[in-house]
Amino acid sequence: MEIQRKLLKTHYRKLKGIKSLPLKNVSPEIPIRSDLLSAYYDSKPYHQCLNRYGNSLVDLRPEIIGLSREMNNFPREVINIFRVTGKLAEKYQIEAYVTGGFVRDLLLRRNNKDLDLVITGDLENFIRALADRLGGEWSYNREFHTGNIQLSTGFNLDLAESRREYYPRSGALPEVEPADLLEDLFRRDFTVNTLLLVLKPDGWGRILDFFQGSKDVERGLLRVLHRFSFLDDPTRIIRGIRLAVGLGFAFARETKALLKEALTVADFSILSTSRVLKELRLLFADRVTPGLLRMMQEFPLFKLLNLEIEIKADFFRQFKELEAYLEYFQEKNYNIKVWLLRMAVFLEDIHKQEIEEWGLSALNQRILSSYARNRGILSRLNRELDPVELVKLLKGLTTEEIILLLVKSGKGKIKENLLYHLEELADREIEINGFDLQEMGLKPGPEIKDILQKVYHAKLRGELKNRREELAFAEKLIKRWE
């Protein structure tokens, strides 16, 4: 409480001159009320910022968690990264922490190769020296004071600079003064992602936990830090759902209420579509499980793209089939854009014009909007078809578009035709070309195209096996021509 007051006081100092605060003193028991919402959107960013603290859902009660014994069981490569970074920080007389999902996953004993590091000093020199010691490719962004190191072992280090540090005093628990580092943490999505693992030798094996994040990890709870979190950044809604499903976590009571409320009242028209798509891409990189579908029924996250998408009961069947097909085709090394395909299942009624502004490539737009465009083909596929007819019907469709028709069709004959096309016909090509025909004495002209097409059709029907048979067939056609 004392610390929280200090935090507030500093902000009052920082923002002195502001007399009235439109959003302060909200009871922690109720989520945002709609009358407060308009105040939120009408207020200036610094008012919004100030009110985050006033509307905090966490106690700033720092705790230290000792992990040094468990650290002996961490993978050698991880310990090496920790030690090298910690020693370098000691040399530079700054602090270095691991934070974010990596620390959360350490507590959960889940493998993670993406480390977020925070350095309380000049990052540019630090990153160069660290990359040198760890032996990786590195980059640094001068504008944002962030950087990245890629190690050949597959570890990816994202580094950020936090100029001032919190100031620990002697005693079992660090006392905290508000500073940039703490503010950084306060801007994070969920408490479970706010843990700081100390890397310097004098704090080796300690986790600093300011917002009871480790308890939430233990209880499997996702909790936002303040009640405006989802309004500040609605992409946290998608992040939350991804974490909940991926980790098997639940939303804390107020967080759930705030998330629902944000989905009903937030203004998503000002949200950057590319940020939303980035999160959706991560969400749909993994299989769509019944658990995710149930979550999406409860939390209509496509609202972030200003779309009303109903999660129909049949989607459960469609995704069960889709995931089985994906596994099957991926084993056979088909190159499939899985996240787009999963998303396309949801967007069955969306036309290309509706997504033109999303900044996707023409091909990606086409895949996402393909079902609305191609669904008419399904009725024509519901009968015995000659391979040539089948290829004509599906001409120009990508593998993703055909798999989408497959999972949407749900019928025997249609499925048979689509699978036959995917597995047998889609890649079937002829081995001869126009030059072969000219060598047989044919003059350049429309006949060449015509004969090649006839050879192709015969090959589709399974009448020709190899180049030799194709040449013989072409020769017969030429003779008939003459």
Query: In the complex, which residues of this chain contact ligand ATP (CB under 6 A)?
Result: 100-101, 114, 116, 188-189, 193, 233, 235-236, 239, 282
Of the two residues 239 and 459, which places its CB atom closer to ligand ATP in the complex? 239
Of the two residues 156 and 399, which places its CB atom closer to ligand ATP in the complex? 156
Least separation in angstroms between CB 235 and ligand ATP: 5
Of the two residues 103 and 350, which places its CB atom closer to ligand ATP in the complex? 103
Of the two residues 82 and 473, which places its CB atom closer to ligand ATP in the complex? 82
**Taking phi first (over 0 means left), then psi (-120 to 50 degrees means alpha), and beta for anything else, what does residue 473 get?**
alpha
* Axis-axis angle for helices 235-247, 290-298 (nearest 10): 150
How far apart are the C-alpha atoms of 283 and 243, rounded to whole Å? 9
By the 8 A CB rule, do 23 and 39 touch?
Answer: yes
Least separation in angstroms between CB 102 and ligand ATP: 6
Least separation in angstroms between CB 193 and ligand ATP: 3
**Taking phi first (over 0 means left), then psi (-120 to 50 degrees means alpha), and beta for anything else, what does residue 93 get?**
left
Task: Please give the sequence-ordered ranges of beta strands (E in DSSP) within 296-340, or none if there are none.
Answer: none
Of the two residues 236 and 459, which places its CB atom closer to ligand ATP in the complex? 236
How far apart are the C-alpha atoms of 461 and 459, rounded to whole Å? 5
In the chain, the amino acid numbered 35 is D
> What stretch of H or E contains 156?
strand 156-161
Least separation in angstroms between CB 239 and ligand ATP: 6
Least separation in angstroms between CB 425 and ligand ATP: 40
Q: Which residue is nearest to ligand ATP (CB)?
A: 101
Least separation in angstroms between CB 83 and ligand ATP: 22
By the 8 A CB rule, do 345 and 407 touch?
Answer: yes
Of the two residues 233 and 348, which places its CB atom closer to ligand ATP in the complex? 233
Which residue shows structure tokens 């006949």? Answer: 447
Beta bridge partners of 148: 139, 158
Cα dihedral 283, 287, 289, 291 sign: negative
Of the two residues 120 and 193, which places its CB atom closer to ligand ATP in the complex? 193
Of the candidates 135, 99, 134, 103, which has an alpha carbon nearest to the alpha carbon of residue 119? 99
Which residues lie below 8 Å from residue 232, measured CB to CB, with a gap of 6+? Answer: 48, 52
How far apart are the C-alpha atoms of 373 and 346, rounded to whole Å? 14
- DSSP designation for 56: B
By the 8 A CB rule, do 30 and 183 touch?
Answer: no
Of the two residues 236 and 421, which places its CB atom closer to ligand ATP in the complex? 236
